[in-house]
Amino acid sequence: MTDPLVESARAVQQRAYAPYSRFRVGCALEADDGRVFVGCNVENASYGLTICAERAAVCAAIAGGARRLRRAVVATDIDPPAAPCGACRQVLSEFGPDLKVDGVGPSSSVSWTMGELLPAAFGPEQLT
């Protein structure tokens, strides 16, 4: 059985701009209303300006009016699949504290909860 979210993540991964690292990443996010938003990594010669796939997808979701996320798929070309970086974990947590995150590689997959990826996350409740 095919998974449309995995297919979307793999398709956008092919559009990644990664001329320096050659590490292409695609991310597909499912909003709580079922809409899907995608993003890929966009590298820059000034490495600190690189945008990760997960944050690119979150920006697309927010621009599309979504505010709550329920599932993310992150596609990479390695096995086991890579998990989101720390910055992406924090951003994903803002919009999906109960988010399920699936990493998919060429021949394996792994699933995490946001709590596993970012225990004791900093969130809006700390700002009250």
| Of 82, 78, 81, 84, nearest in space to 96 by CA | 84
Distances (CA, A) of 91 to 34, 81, 87, 106, 118: 20, 20, 6, 26, 11
54 in active site: yes
C-alpha 75/C-alpha 83 separation (Å) is: 9
Of the listed 54, 94, 116, 125, which one is catalytic?
54
Backbone angles phi, psi at 36, to 5 degrees: -115, 135
Residues catalogued as catalytic? 54
